[in-house]
Amino acid sequence: MLIEQLLKVMGLMEKALALVVEDSAVLAACFAEVLYDAGYKVEIAEDGQAAMNWLQTTVPDLILLDLNIPNVSGEKVLAHIRTEEQFGATRILAISGSATRASQIRGKVDLIMHKPVEYETLRRLLRVFHPDYQSTHIFSHRET
């Protein structure tokens, strides 16, 4: 553990990887900035199909998923992730402007946030979800 932390500080280990799935370029850039500030390497998928394609070859540590995205819905992306074993340790933060949509996925994600999302609140939460934080703190996981 200490060796991993030292290697990361020295820049010899990779950052945790996050995927932002958001169709608004402005929001995607804001979310990416918050994730970067919280210690993540960030990739962006502008719609559900792009996310599904990216997830065929990569397993992120965290996914920030807008539910209302084009081509493949956020709910379908989530269903795919939850049926694939390789994503078992991937944390998912869902973001929605609809309380109804958000309530339909309760228990399937690690956290649901309602738009608008405050920068500082999101930054603090993302740090808690970071693998380095989790390895040194007790943290409850989503319902199973």
Residue 81 near residue 63 (C-beta atoms within 8 A): yes
Least confident segment among 17-31, 45-59, 68-82, 101-115: 101-115
- Whether residue 3 is predicted with pLDDT greater than 70 in this model: the reply is no
pLDDT one-digit tens code per residue, 30-74: 999 989 988 899 999 999 999 999 999 999 999 999 999 999 999
CA angle 69, 120, 101 (to 5 degrees): 30
Confidence band (pLDDT; 50, 70, 90) for 114? confident
Set out the domains of the chain in order of their start, with CATH numbers.
16-133 (3.40.50.2300)
Q: What share of the chain is helix, strand, coil (3-state, %, to 5)?
A: 45, 20, 40
Which percentage of the chain shows pLDDT scores above 90? 50
Residue 26 has a CB neighbour count (10 Å cut-off) of: 8
What pLDDT is attached to residue 112?
86
Helices (H), 11-87: 25-37, 48-55, 74-83
- Whether residue 12 is predicted with pLDDT greater than 60 in this model: the reply is no
